[in-house]
Amino acid sequence: MKVVLVGLPGSGKSTFGKQLASAMKVDFFDLDQLIEAKMGQSIPDIFLIQGEEAFRKIESKILQETLEREESLVLASGGGAPCFHDNMAIINRLSTSVYLDLPLDSISSRLSNSRNSTRPMFVGKDRDGIKNKLLELIEVRREFYEQSKIKLSGEDFSAELLIFELARELKS
């Protein structure tokens, strides 16, 4: 069983992914961390030096390589990963996709109170600026996220709830 979490930056893909992987007793991977390890550069540096197009090709290649592994796993995708190079189709073919759909107010609050300095698109933005950027992103990305096999909305979902939904998905 492979599970890929998709959603906006700050929606909790990595945090929730670790909890889910622990509950499922499988390995957890963060796509951005896999890319940084393989390339020996940070995501912002890859964008700066090689450009977004090169980054998206690298991202797609590492996504596919990760999902073609034999073992079960939970993967937190980058927020934009499902939107390029037919990645959402790859995710759905090789795994069970889960869209973490949190309210934008919750995400903007999280990002304004956290490490947004490491997220280039949010640097220097206050809570309203972050929310406006999130509104722009969701307009473009929603159609990809909505292709997920499972959608968890709101703020109060748990690893146990998702495991229940995954079992139901497997039966259908």
- pLDDT of 8-26, one tens digit each? 999 999 999 999 999 899 9
DSSP 78: P
pTM reported for the whole predicted model: 0.92
Containing 98, the helix (H) or strand (E) segment is strand 96-101
Domain contains 156: no
Q: How far apart are CA 100 and CA 20, in angstroms?
A: 13
CATH classification at residue 90: 3.40.50.300
Domain contains 117: yes
Complete edge-to-edge strand list for the sheet that includes strand 27-30: 27-30, 73-76, 2-6, 96-101, 150-153
Helix, strand, coil percentages in the chain from 3-state DSSP, rounded to 5: 60, 15, 25
pLDDT tens for 93-142 read 999 999 999 999 989 888 887 654 567 788 788 888 999 999 999 999 99
Q: Which domain holds residue 106?
A: 2-151
Q: How far apart are CA 151 and CA 97, in angstroms?
A: 8
